Amino acid sequence: MAAQQHGMVEKRGAGIWLTHAFMVLGVLIIFFPIWLAFVASTVSQPEIVSPPMPIWPGDQFWENYRAALFAGVNVPVATMLFNSLVMAIGIAVGKIVISLLSAFAIVYFRFPGRTTFFWLIFLTLMLPVEVRIVPTFEVVAGFGMLNSYYGLIFPLIASATATFLFRQFFLTIPDELAEAARVDGARPMRFFVDIVVPMSRTNIAALFVILFIYGWNQYLWPLLITTDPEMNTIVMGIKQMFPSGDDVAEWPVIMATSILAMIPPVIVVVSMQKLFVRGLVDSEK
């Protein structure tokens, strides 16, 4: 049926194979860096330092991944993975919770200062952490939050985007529901927990996917505030595995770490593809 509808403008026969061929070529080019990293993570150091390196995986998979996970260079990669997980989940959950609460307040109440607060939150859109690194670093240092999960999470947790997204969604919730809740004498928080949050679950899930990746992929901030290798996150820790000076890097271990660093976000994106695309489109609106 679909084929017939589109028949007029769709390629068929040789054309369709050519189209597929282009697509496969595109995918191969895009994938090449990841494939090469995977191959490098399965061969031995001597095979890499005498170029060209092999193009098919070797037999050192377990050795390299074990070395990375449990020994690492400065700190076991397992530790860095754990730190990244705490940071990513902390940021995602934290942002979602504070944004749900503030959006609920802004949409469902009239209170003094409401407009002012709304604009204050709006302004934070304009302040990515990259442009205020020095003073933010000083604040975090002042709180004694260097080398701590609090320091990794809090400065990245306020998000105007999430607040706006939820505000937008709450405005579409039928007024009758709030009316009914009020008539029944339900308290606002009851309404929030029983009606608003369950209705928002798709938005929450979509946002979680986006925020998890945002948190996992942070680089500059962890680089500044985690001077203790035990607190390094995996994305920033990879760079720390390169030796300074002229020593040759442990490429198989570094590449195994790179693969490990991309597995969690890739799993999240691919397994929750629909939510991810939706979250992407929503959060950019």
Partner 1 sequence: MEKRVTFRGWLLPLLLIAPQVIVSAIFFFYPAAQAIWQSLFIPDPFGLSSQFVGLGNFEFLLSDKFYRASFLTTAIFSTLVTLCSMIPALFLAVIADRLIKGSGVYRTLLIWPYAVAPAVAGVLWLFMFNTRVGVVSWYLGQLGYDWNHVLNDAEAMGLVVVASAWGRISYNFLFFFAALQSVPKSVIEAAAIDGAHFWRRFFTIVLPLLSPTAFFLLVVNVVYAFFETFGVIHTITGGGPQQATTILVYKVFSDGFVGQDLGSSSAQSVILLIVVGLLTVIQFKYVEKRVHY
Among 30, 184, 245, 247, binds partner 1 (CB under 8 A): 30
Site string for partner 1, 122-141 (x = CB under 8 A): -xxxxxx-xxxxxxxxxxx-
Q: How far apart are the first and last CA of the chain?
A: 34
Residue 170 CA neighbour count, 13 Å, CB half: 23
d(CA 106, CA 140): 29
By CB under 8 A, is residue 111 in contact with partner 1?
yes
Among 86, 89, 147, 188, binds partner 1 (CB under 8 A): 188
By CB under 8 A, is residue 110 in contact with partner 1?
yes
Among 211, 216, 250, 279, binds partner 1 (CB under 8 A): 216
d(CA 7, CA 129): 50
Among 69, 155, 161, 207, binds partner 1 (CB under 8 A): 155
By CB under 8 A, is residue 166 in contact with partner 1?
no
Please give the helix or strand (H or E) that residue 174 lies within, else none.
none
Angle between helices 160-171 and 114-123 in degrees, nearest 10? 130
By CB under 8 A, is residue 1 in contact with partner 1?
no
By CB under 8 A, is residue 219 in contact with partner 1?
yes
d(CA 267, CA 275): 13
d(CA 164, CA 170): 10
Instruction: Please identify, among the stretches 13-21, 62-70, 72-80, 193-201, the one whose residues bind partner 1 according to the rule CB under 8 A.
Output: 13-21
Tokens of 191: 């309404």
* Residue 192 Cβ vs partner 1, minimum distance, rounded to whole Å: 9
Among 79, 83, 102, 226, binds partner 1 (CB under 8 A): 102
By CB under 8 A, is residue 82 in contact with partner 1?
no
Among 42, 79, 83, 99, binds partner 1 (CB under 8 A): 99
What Å distances lie between residue 113 and 5, 108, 166, 247, CA to CA? 55, 14, 20, 59
* Residue 136 Cβ vs partner 1, minimum distance, rounded to whole Å: 4
Number of residues that bind partner 1 (CB under 8 A): 109
By CB under 8 A, is residue 78 in contact with partner 1?
no
* Residue 10 Cβ vs partner 1, minimum distance, rounded to whole Å: 6
What is the distance of C-alpha 202 from the center of its chain?
17
Collapsing DSSP to helix, strand or coil, 127 comes out as coil
* Residue 245 Cβ vs partner 1, minimum distance, rounded to whole Å: 13
**Residue listed under structure tokens 């701590």:** 148
By CB under 8 A, is residue 276 in contact with partner 1?
yes
